Structure 1
Amino acid sequence: MGKAVVIAMLLAALLGGVGIWYTQTRAYYSEVAGPVSLTFSTGGDLTTLPASEVRAIASVSSPLGFRACFAHDLDLLTVPDLADPHAQAAPTVAPGWFDCFDAKQVAGLLDDGLAQGFVAMKNVAFGVDRIVALSADGRGWAWHELNECGRKSYDGTPVGEACPDRATYTPLTEGSL
């Protein structure tokens, strides 16, 4: 009887662990079907980023779950005319199965000056900006980060007038631009 209880407990722990692993790495992510909105926004104007070979994932549970990899043919010297530089760009870790997005590698390229980060679009979701990193060798990555409105909103600080009205805010839907 004691062995059966121990085996049942171990089996329950194993199944629970597999369930947690699956939900964290697979269940809430899916590849984005259709066009991905890779644009630069400056002063309200949108400029489409000339991207090819785009692969993207998004999480149904959080706007911060977006990641994308792509190729580009931009001259990095002209990009600051199209988008605001983002010196503190810090890519977030993607699930291991999305192998084109290696956050440590992208962060290293940004730190070494071999890639540049830009705010591609502010408020793609309430309090969330789309960040793009571009390398001189034609690779690009995109992810979402909390902006000042998001940080204030989620820590309970009053957001102020510079933030959009959350009650009437409409987030970006991929392929809607």
Structure 2
Amino acid sequence: MNGKIIAGFLVLTGLVAGIAMYWLQVYAFYDEAKFTPGAEIMLTSVESGQPEAILAEGVTGIDSDSSPIRFRACFKTPMTQAMLTETYRIYPAPTPLLAPGWFDCFDAEAIGAALESGEAIAFLGQANIHPGVDRVVAVFADGRAFAWQQLNGDEGNE
């Protein structure tokens, strides 16, 4: 009888710990991203090399203090891809990172496929927004756009 109680306790403890770990990874550390009005999304200018605010509508995003690569954002821009490519830096190796399932406007696999096919173009938002991390913005021809942060390999070069 004692063995059943101890085994039940161990199973229950493992189940509670597993649920807690899942919740902590998927929900606990994310907050709504804070955007400055008029400067919600920035792209790096080809000419000046400095980030500049672009026109963005309906910006929603998530971020976390626990990791600099947890940032994701979705928005629309009235700016065309042609205008953006003439004005802002193209990002050479964009790799959209997966977002939590509950942040359903951001589909990293679809964005990645669109980048590979040329349907979307990736731009440098801000270099080294955190040490070794760049903000990347992908823009589709219809104005849909997505932002994320990814490692750039320059951790010690800031």
Match of residue 114, structure 1, among 110, 115, 119: 119
Which residue does the alignment assign to 1:128? 133
- Mean Cα displacement is larger for which, 12-21 or 45-54? 45-54
Query: What TM-score results when the alignment is normalised by the length of structure 1?
Result: 0.81
Any unmatched runs of 5+ in structure 2?
A: none
Whole-Å Cα distance in 2 between the matches of residues 29 and 55 of structure 1?
13
Which residue does the alignment assign to 1:173? none
1:16-165, aligned counterparts within 5 Å?
16-35=17-36, 37-42=40-45, 43-150=48-155, 153=156, 163-164=157-158
* Paired residue total: 153
Which residue does the alignment assign to 1:172? none
Which residue does the alignment assign to 1:167? none
Q: Which amino acid aligns with 1:27?
A: A
Any unmatched runs of 5+ in structure 1?
A: 154-162, 165-177
Which residue does the alignment assign to 1:159? none
Whole-Å Cα distance in 2 between the matches of residues 46 and 107 of structure 1?
23
Q: Which amino acid aligns with 1:8?
A: F
Kept in 2, the 8 Å contact 1:115–1:136? The answer is yes
Kept in 2, the 8 Å contact 1:47–1:82? The answer is no
Kept in 1, the 8 Å contact 2:40–2:56? The answer is no
Percent of matched pairs sharing the same residue? 34
Deviation, structure 1 residue 34: 4.3
Whole-Å Cα distance in 2 between the matches of residues 119 and 148 of structure 1?
15
Q: Which amino acid aligns with 1:71?
A: K
**CA displacement, residues 57-105 of structure 1 (integer Å, 9 cap, x when unaligned):** 0011011110000011111012122221124211000111111111111
Q: Which amino acid aligns with 2:41?
A: L
Query: What TM-score results when the alignment is normalised by the length of structure 2?
Result: 0.90
Measured on the aligned residues, the alpha-carbon RMSD in Å equals: 1.5
